[in-house]
């Protein structure tokens, strides 16, 4: 069994590569729910949806979120009613949120709701929320404390960041199956998602970080950082706010206690060599995930690193 920790769009691209190589039943995806939010009275789980849609083959390739070919007529009507409309929800996408909200109102857990929706979409891999409890990523800025969606979508990641916290994470429990999926995995992969607000909330749920430390499986991450910048999104600024360097060294620091191998871009090969001697090993490849071929190639590289018998990629420290 392959277990993946993932967040939003970068994670979905990586999972899109994995689904081309791994039998769906062999894949478990543990997903960040710190960005979940209430919108128009609906429970929106953006990262779970990105993974659901990716595995169902219905993710919009242009946007990287939401449903392929979706329209936004309800959103336009909400806007015409003078209601907040800064978070885009497509008309077909709405069906998922309506069903999830109904299931949750019927006392189903988020794990159950996710399983039911996945089955209805024909997804055969297991998608697990990191927790069934409410955990909320909060970004403290000079303009006040913002939810992740307010910071990222509404205000376009423009605010300086004072600090980041995961509200209620101390009271959260890993969702059923999460700990086993890590400790019993043949390999644990960390997607190239933002280490602070995508993977960070997962690691903040008590017990998950410990399970990653304890698992006998190799833990392999793909860096979301190339050089001194994130491939996309606000990862660099968020890392700086937590005193991590926005570099592969900083990524290694984020995951130091849990990580075996960090897959970095070829352009970071020299940096990787300079980090030789750390507990984390580095492997280099082209980590940009633009095309299906890119995604499959990076997924294959990562899997080969996780299963030593493959030995398909040279390790940075051996180069």
Q: Footprint of a second copy on this chain (CB under 8 A)?
A: 40-42, 67, 70-71, 73-74, 76-78, 80-83, 90-96, 98-99, 101-102, 105, 117, 120-121
Q: Are 128 and 51 in contact (CB under 8 A)?
A: no
H or E element in which residue 175 lies:
none
Q: Are 64 and 72 in contact (CB under 8 A)?
A: no
Residues forming a β-bridge with 263: 222, 283
How far apart are CB 60 and a second copy at their closest, in Å? 13
Whichever of 57 and 206 has its CB closer to a second copy, that residue is 57
Q: List Cα–Cα distances, 102 to 44, 87, 117, 119, 220, in angstroms.
A: 12, 20, 11, 16, 37
Whichever of 49 and 159 has its CB closer to a second copy, that residue is 49
How far apart are CB 210 and a second copy at their closest, in Å? 37
Whichever of 79 and 273 has its CB closer to a second copy, that residue is 79
Tell me the H-state helices in the chain: 9-18, 46-55, 73-80, 91-105, 110-120, 148-149, 178-183, 200-204, 208-214, 235-241, 248-255, 269-274, 292-306
H or E element in which residue 313 lies:
none
Whichever of 104 and 315 has its CB closer to a second copy, that residue is 104
What is the CB neighbour count within 10 angstroms for residue 220?
Answer: 23
How far apart are CB 72 and a second copy at their closest, in Å? 9
Q: Are 146 and 155 in contact (CB under 8 A)?
A: yes
How far apart are CB 74 and a second copy at their closest, in Å? 5
Whichever of 91 and 112 has its CB closer to a second copy, that residue is 91
How far apart are CB 41 and a second copy at their closest, in Å? 4
Name the residue among 216, 214, 215, 233 with its Cα closest to residue 224.
233
How far apart are CB 37 and a second copy at their closest, in Å? 14
Whichever of 39 and 255 has its CB closer to a second copy, that residue is 39
How far apart are CB 40 and a second copy at their closest, in Å? 5
Look up tokens 């698992």; give the residue.
Answer: 215
Whichever of 67 and 181 has its CB closer to a second copy, that residue is 67
Longest CA–CA separation in the chain, Å: 61
Residues forming a β-bridge with 230: 225
Whichever of 51 and 172 has its CB closer to a second copy, that residue is 51
How far apart are CB 119 and a second copy at their closest, in Å? 9
């Amino acid at each position: 069994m392959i277990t993946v920790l993932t967040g939003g769009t970068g994670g979905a691209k990586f999972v899109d590569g994995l689904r081309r190589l791994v039998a769906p039943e062999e894949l478990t995806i543990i997903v960040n729910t710190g960005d979940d939010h209430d919108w128009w009275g609906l429970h929106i789980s953006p990262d779970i949806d990105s993974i659901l849609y990716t595995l169902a083959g219905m993710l919009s390739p242009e946007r990287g979120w939401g449903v392929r070919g979706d329209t936004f007529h309800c959103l336009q009507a909400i806007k015409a009613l003078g209601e907040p409309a800064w978070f885009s929800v497509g008309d077909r996408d709405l069906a998922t949120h309506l069903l999830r909200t109904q299931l949750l109102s019927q006392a189903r857990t988020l794990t159950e709701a996710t399983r039911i929706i996945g089955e209805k979409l024909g997804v055969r891999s297991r998608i697990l929320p990191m927790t069934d409890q409410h955990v909320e990523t909060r970004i403290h800025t000079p303009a006040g404390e913002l939810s992740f969606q307010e910071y990222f979508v509404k205000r376009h990641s423009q605010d300086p960041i004072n600090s980041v916290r995961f509200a209620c994470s101390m009271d959260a429990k890993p969702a059923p199956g999460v700990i086993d999926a890590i400790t019993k995995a043949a390999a644990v992969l960390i997607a190239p998602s933002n280490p602070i607000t995508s993977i960070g909330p997962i690691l903040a749920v008590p017990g998950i970080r410990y399970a990653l430390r304890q698992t006998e499986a190799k833990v392999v991450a793909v860096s979301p950082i190339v050089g001194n910048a994130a491939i996309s999104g606000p990862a660099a600024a968020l890392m700086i706010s937590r005193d991590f360097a926005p570099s592969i060294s900083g990524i290694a620091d984020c995951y130091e206690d849990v990580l075996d191998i960090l897959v970095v871009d070829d352009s970071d090969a020299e940096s990787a060599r300079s980090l030789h001697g750390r507990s984390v090993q580095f492997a280099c490849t082209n980590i940009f995930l633009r095309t299906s071929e890119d995604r499959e190639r990076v997924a294959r590289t990562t899997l080969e690193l996780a299963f030593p018998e493959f030995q398909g990629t040279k390790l940075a420290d051996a180069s």
